[in-house]
Amino acid sequence: MSVPDRLAITIAQLNPVVGDVAGNAEKARGARAKAAAAGADLILLPELFICGYPPEDLVLKPALQAACRAALEALARDTADGGPAMLIGTPWVEDGKLYNAAALLDGGRVAGLRFKVDLPNYGVFDEKRVFVPGPMPGPLNIRGVRMGVPICEDIWGPEPVECISDTGGEILLVPNGSPYRRGVTDERLNVAVARVRDAGLPLVYANQVGGQDELVFEGASFVLNPDLTFAAQLPAFREDIATVQFVRTAEGWRAESGSIAALETGDEADYAACVLGLRDYVDKSRFPGVVIGLSGGVDSALCATMAVDALGAERVRCVMMPYRFTSPESLADAAAVAKALGIVYDTVPIAPAVEGLEKALAQLTAGLPRDVTEENLQARARGTILMAISNKFRLMVVTTGNKSEMSVGYATLYGDMNGGFNPIKDLYKTEVYRLARLRNAWRPYGALGPAGRVIPENIFTRAPSAELRENQTDQDSLPPYDLLDAVLERLVEREEAVSTIVEAGFDRDTVMRIERMLYLAEYKRRQAAPGVKVTLKNFGRDRRYPIVNRFRDPGVALPPPAASLVRGAAASEAVDL
How far from the centroid of its chain's Cα atoms is residue 296's Cα? 26
Q: What is the CA radius of gyration of the chain?
A: 26
- 524 among known catalytic residues: no
The DSSP 8-state label assigned to residue 474 in this structure reads G
Cβ atoms of residues 575 and 407 within 8 Å: no
What CA–CA distance (Å, rounded) separates 533 from 422? 10
Residue 266: other Cβ atoms inside 10 A: 11
The residue annotated as part of the active site, out of 116, 284, 403, 533, is 116
Phi-psi region of 210 (alpha: psi -120 to 50; beta: other; left: phi over 0): left
What CA–CA distance (Å, rounded) separates 222 from 93? 30
The helix/strand/coil state of 244 is strand
The residue annotated as part of the active site, out of 27, 47, 170, 524, is 47
Burial classification of residue 181, based on how many CB atoms lie within 10 Å of its CB (0-12 exposed, 13-18 middle, 19 or more buried): buried
H or E stretch at 230: strand 230-233
What CA–CA distance (Å, rounded) separates 387 from 396? 8
* Beta strands in 107-168, from DSSP E residues, in sequence order: 109-115, 140-142, 145-148
Q: At 459, which amino acid appears?
A: I
Q: At 473, which amino acid appears?
A: T
What CA–CA distance (Å, rounded) separates 377 from 251? 73
Q: Which of 105, 106, 193, 201 is nearest to 147 (CA)?
A: 201
What CA–CA distance (Å, rounded) separates 468 from 410? 12
Q: Which of 285, 214, 241 is nearest to 56 (CA)?
A: 214
- 116 among known catalytic residues: yes
What CA–CA distance (Å, rounded) separates 275 from 261? 20
The residue annotated as part of the active site, out of 51, 68, 152, 274, is 152
Cβ atoms of residues 193 and 172 within 8 Å: no
Residues annotated as catalytic (active site), given as ranges: 47, 116, 152
